[in-house]
Structure 1
Amino acid sequence: MKARTLLHRRKILVVLKGYPRLSETFIAQELLGLEKAGFDLTLISMRRPTDKKRHPVHDEIRARVIYLPEYLHEEPIRVLKGFFASFRKPGIKALWKRFLKDLARDLSRNRFRRLGQALVLGREWPDNGEWLHAHFIHTPASVTEYASILTGVPWTCSAHAKDIWTSPDWDLHEKLGSARWTVTCTRTGYEHMRTLTARKEAVHLSYHGLDLARFAHFGGQRSHRDGSDPADPVLILSVGRAVEKKGYETLLRALALLPRELNWRFEHIGGGDKLPKLRALAAELNISDRISWKGALAQEDVLDHYRRADAFALACRIASNGDRDGLPNVLVEASSQRLPCVSTAVSGVPELLVDGENGMVVPPQDPVAFAGALETMIRDPALRLRLGDAAERRVREHFDHEASIGQLGRLFEEEWQKAS
């Protein structure tokens, strides 16, 4: 999207849960895309980074990063200054009315923390921000909306997956009613949010897409491994955090169900709290010797693994608390590299993968079905090649992030034109 000069480019304060994060490359990619399109950003992070590595895209983003107090008791002076300064703000009465209404429905320390962070933001107000934008409609949007009420500065929101499905309907209803617009990255999330607001026209579907310059076409040869050679096993790759919604228990059980004569190896890239339990399950299933746990890797290393693997597997599921993926960016990334994917019919996955056409899609939490799809993929290198080529075509035709950046740019400018 080419930068336009017809309208004043307002300074946007972008509120994030944490920055930078290895697991949120889709956000970093969007931020960089907006900067390249001429938007002026300052990043407001509610948490400091915990990842030891960074993706190259993080080093390309020029925006300044401001960190709010992660826990209010850690920076009491800063919070008190925000509290006392708030009484001079135009929306203080409206903010307290809204906060008490929310508190009655969510009596928690977390609710007070979001108010405190909003008060700090309202006082410090970096770089003379003229617009607020939240990434995630749960806690970042709470801070953003409170700051908007306090200061009178308009706000907008990008909703994704967990934030939609683990938020109570009343919370989503309130935020969808006050944000100028909200975008989300899957049709399932889009349709769900539209049921919760009378302002249906203010909810938009916008796939993240992929920076196809960063994930260039892979012209290398794909292997003809078919699982028959013990010295040259089929390589199955997965990238994702070890959390419930990624379904790694299902994937491991599916691997254990594969016929013993098939020769395969499995590589997992990602961190997550459940890694020790997954390792223990792999040992229990007697497949540990076929698995490599790589931990979190930078994007260029992940790209190299996509190009070396024979198949990609991600057994997405709906977690016990309702959390689920939107459209996992790793499926788009793998597909862009002609790597055929096996996944599940959860949330936005079928919006990318069509079973038998450009991937294999099975029901969630079904190890037998997942094992069957993996076995088919392992035994048939010609099928892998056909599905991988079709997957890349779909990504390059429908998931170019330039389209998403262009859509966001138009949404911002339409609002600014109304206010001018």
Structure 2
Amino acid sequence: MTSANLAAVDHIAIVVKGYPRLSETFIAQEILGIQQAGIPYRIVSLRHPTDKKRHPIHQRITGPVDYLPEYLHDAPLRVLAGWWKARKMPGYKAAIAAWRRDFRRDPTRNRLRRLGQAMVMAAELPADITRIYAHFLHTPASVARYGAMMRQLPWCCSAHAKDIYTSPDWEMREKLADMDWLVTCTRANVDHLRALADDPAKVNLLYHGLDFSRFPEQLPNRPMRAGDDAADPVIILSVGRLVGKKGYDDLLKALAKLPQNLQWRFVHIGGGNGAKYAALANELGIADRCDWQGPRDQAEVITACQNADLFVLASRIEKDGDRDGLPNVLMEAQLCGLAAVSTHISAIPELIRDGVNGRLVPERDPDALSAVLAEMIADPAARDKMGKAGNAIVRQDFSFHAGMRELGHRFGVDQDAPASRQE
């Protein structure tokens, strides 16, 4: 990229809730794509990392990371210095006015913390930053919004799932009004946010997609296990945090209802309260068939997908609206040729087509889930056919590089690239 071209490219501050995180490979993948596109960037994290492991991709990300004070009382002098500098900025009064309007409707310590973090960010960002880009429409977007107003910079956002469906409509409307544009990873999200936006054209579909180069080109030659051999059971894999919206209690209940003559083994990868679910498995009498492996990096997840026979994710919508959007693990499993069983919620049907590359059941329905699992365990030919179809669908419709070209276009790279899809 020439110096003239570089001058036209945004220098961005990427605001995230925490970095790095094992559960957010899609963010790490995008940051690496931004780096490879030659877009100058730095990461601004609201929290320090808590995961003990890291994905290999994190080692390839070389941009600077700024950690804001997670709790303002832990760094009072830094917060005071941030305020002292921010108060002299041309947009400070407008930012404070916006924050006061928000605080009247949400008088919480979290709202205070967002303002303090925004002042520190605004004060400490290098002068060459030309745009602020937030991942998630809730807390990171609030910090990005207040900080961008202080610095009088344009800002934009990538929205996902929980941040959309647990945020109040008034807040999302006002953020959408203030930002330049927003991308989100499912058609369901696009429809929801466009209904709130003063200018619906600001909201665009941008699937995360996968970088196929990180996955084996050839599908594994899986044995045609049919659940009839106790020495060689069907391997059922699930990857996800052990939190309510993933529905692991529903899944364990479904597994416990499987016919006694079917031979299977359940493998789980992911962090969270493993003791709680292991205790439930024991209570249901299936503990000896469950393997709780804990957090693993992406290479280990791919290996697990290669060795499994069936993937399952019993996602559901929680009472507060929290839900999955389109989980990357479903795409990863499909790219590895795994048939998937999941639920008919949110954007999951945008990937899983019932009877084509997997099966969909109603959420919170262990009986229906168990019946479909029993069918899939006993039918290796159907699993093989659906797995191959899933691989083809992901390769056709969910390429990370296609999405990255669109995002790069928005940041000023490759001006001839097509704009984000408007469906």
1: CA distance, partners of 2:44 / 2:195: 30
For 1:248 and 1:157, locate their aligned partners in 2 and report how far apart those are by CA, in whole Å: 31
Q: Corresponding residue for 1:357?
A: 356
Seen in structure 2, the aligned counterparts of structure 1 residues 145 and 415 have a Cα distance that, compared at 3 Å, is farther
Q: Which amino acid aligns with 1:215?
A: F
Distance 1:236 1:269 in 2: 11
Query: d(CA) in 2 for partners of 1:416 and 1:217?
Result: 31
SS in 2 for 1:46: strand
Aligned to 2:343: 344
Matches within 5 A, 1:111-150: 111-126=111-126, 128-150=128-150
The alignment's TM-score, normalised by the length of structure 1, stands at 0.96
Any residues of structure 2 matched to 1:157-306 within 5 Å, and which? 157-272=157-272, 274-306=273-305
The 8 Å contact of residues 18 and 48 in structure 2, kept in 1 or not, is answered as yes
**CA RMSD of superposed structures (Å):** 1.8
State the one-letter code of the partner of 1:318. Answer: I
Q: Which amino acid aligns with 2:402?
A: A
Shift of 1:142: 0.3
Kindly indicate whether the alpha-carbon contact (under 8 Å) linking 2:9 and 2:411 is maintained by their aligned counterparts in 1: no
CA contact (8 A) 1:250 1:365 kept: yes
Listed as ranges, the matches of 1:35-114 within 5 Å are 35-114=35-114
Distance 1:406 1:251, change over 3 A: same
Q: Amino acid of the residue matched to residue 299 of structure 1? A: Q
Aligned to 1:154: 154
Following superposition, the deviation at residue 6 of structure 1 comes to 7.7
* Contact 1:11/1:127, CA 8 A, preserved across alignment: no
Uncovered stretches (5+) of structure 2, i.e. residues with no partner: 417-423
In the TM superposition, residue 127 of structure 1 has moved relative to its aligned partner by: 6.2
What are the superposed Cα offsets for residues 326-368 of structure 1, whole Å, 9 maximum, x if unpaired? 1000000000000111000111100000000111111111111
The answer to whether structure 1 residue 333 and structure 2 residue 332 are counterparts is: yes
Aligned-partner Cα distance in 2 for 1:209–1:383: 25
Unaligned runs of 5+ in 1: none
Residue 61 of structure 1 deviates from its aligned partner by: 1.0
| Distance change (3 Å), C-alpha of 1:127 and 1:386 | farther
Question: Relative to 1, partners in 2 of residues 1:361 and 1:91: Cα closer, same or farther, differing over 3 Å?
Answer: same
The one-letter amino acid of 2:185's match is C
Distance 1:95 1:403 in 2: 36
Q: Within 1, Cα distance between the matches of 2:343 and 2:108?
A: 35
CA distance in 2, matches of 1:43, 1:126: 12
1:332 corresponds to which letter in structure 2? M
The C-alpha deviation readout for 1:127-171, integer Å capped at 9, x for no partner, is 631110000000000000000111101101000010000100001
Residue 311 of structure 1 is matched in structure 2 by: 310
Instruction: Give how far 1:325 is off.
Output: 0.5
Query: Aligned partners of 1:305, 1:358: CA distance in 2, in Å?
Result: 19
Q: Which amino acid aligns with 2:283?
A: E
With 140-149 and 278-287 compared, the bigger mean Cα shift is at: 278-287
Q: Which amino acid aligns with 1:182?
A: L
TM-aligned CA distance change 1:243 to 1:280, over 3 Å: same
How far has the Cα of 1:126 moved from its partner? 3.3
1:410 equivalent in alignment to 2:404 = no
Indicate whether 1:28 and 2:3 are aligned: no
Q: Which residue of 1 aligns with 2:372?
A: 373
AA partner of residue 27 (structure 1): I
Total equivalences in the alignment: 415
User: Is contact 2:408–2:414 with CA below 8 Å preserved after alignment?
Assistant: no
Deviations 1:100-127 (A, max 9, x none): 1000000000000000000001111136
Look up the equivalent residue of 1:363 and give its one-letter code: P
What letter is aligned with 1:186?
T
Residue pair 2:8, 2:412 contacting (<8 A) in 1 also: no
C-alpha separation in 1, matches of 2:303 and 2:170: 44
Q: Deviations over 1:260-307 (max 9, x none)?
A: 1100000000011x3222111111100000001000011111111000
Do the aligned partners of 2:264 and 2:289 also contact (CA within 8 Å) in 1?
yes
CA distance in structure 1 between the aligned counterparts of 2:87 and 2:291, rounded to whole angstroms: 56
What is the letter of the counterpart of residue 317 of structure 1? R
CA shift, 1:412, in A, is 2.4
Q: Equivalents in 2 of 1:54, 1:46: separation in Å? A: 18
After superposition, the Cα gap between the structure-2 partners of 1:236 and 1:257, relative to the gap in structure 1 and judged at 3 Å, is same
Q: State the SS of the aligned residue for 1:302.
A: helix
2:147 and 2:332 mapped to 1: Cα distance?
A: 35
Going from structure 1 to structure 2, the CA distance change for 1:370 and 1:59 (only over 3 Å counts) comes to same
* Partner-residue secondary structure (3-state), 2:214: coil
Q: CA–CA distance in 2 between the matches of 1:126 and 1:71?
A: 23
The answer to whether the 8 Å contact 1:7/1:413 transfers is no
Query: Equivalent residue for 1:392?
Result: 391
Contact 2:235 2:309 in 1 (8 A): yes
Q: Distance in 2 between matches of 1:179 and 1:218?
A: 43
Counterpart amino acid of 1:203? V
Q: SS of the counterpart of 1:396?
A: helix
> Counterpart of 2:16 in structure 1: which amino acid?
L
In 2, Cα distance between equivalents of 1:366 and 1:212: 34
Aligned letter for 2:62?
Answer: R
8 A Cα contact 1:218 1:338, kept in partner: no
Aligned to 1:128, what secondary structure does the other structure show? coil
TM-fit CA distance, 1:256:
0.4
TM-superposed CA distance for 1:27, in Å, is: 0.5
Aligned-partner Cα distance in 2 for 1:101–1:415: 39
CA distance in 1, matches of 2:207, 2:47: 26
Tell me the CA shift for residue 415 of structure 1: 13
**Residue type of the partner of 2:140?**
P
C-alpha separation between the residues in 2 aligned to 1:99 and 1:127? 24
